Homo-oligomer: A and B are copies of this chain.
């Protein structure tokens, strides 16, 4: 569950201070309801609290990642984060044309991972996967573009 109550309890139980900045950043991620880049979180945070520094955003996100409250998502070059939701784990498919990201159910990866595990004795880490490609809309609306 990703309600405020549960998240904040997790932090308190770990002895992590609930500062306004941390609550704000977590609320932004929760309300965004998808992964977000650092700059995006920072921009939203500033509208609520103009003095917040981007270093605080980085520190908070990294801290939350360490305790698994947020998950880092590999979205191309820059860091993206989302709230860790144990109820609906998923991977991502990113459209290289429009930049939109789509969730990918874990089942697809599980079959794939199982093959690699059994055929190649390699234990793949399929907890956090990102696949690039073209979404159906872009695939349809452009023929030979990037």
- Residues on A facing B (Cβ under 8 Å): 93, 95-96, 102, 104, 108, 111-112, 115-116, 119-126, 131-136, 139
Contacts and interface: CB of A to CB of B under 8 A. Distances in A.
A121 B134 CA distance: 9
Copies in the complex: 2
A104 B116 contact: yes
Contacts of A108: 112, 115-116, 119
Given A93-B116, A112-B112, A116-B93, A133 B125 contact: yes
Of A112, A120, A122, A124, most B-chain CB atoms within 10 Å = A122
Given A132-B125, A133-B125, A93 B120 contact: yes
B133 A123 contact: yes
19 contacts: A93-B120, A93-B122, A102-B120, A102-B122, A104-B116, A108-B119, A111-B112, A111-B115, A121-B136, A122-B131, A122-B136, A123-B136, A124-B131, A124-B132, A124-B133, A125-B131, A125-B133, A125-B134, A126-B131
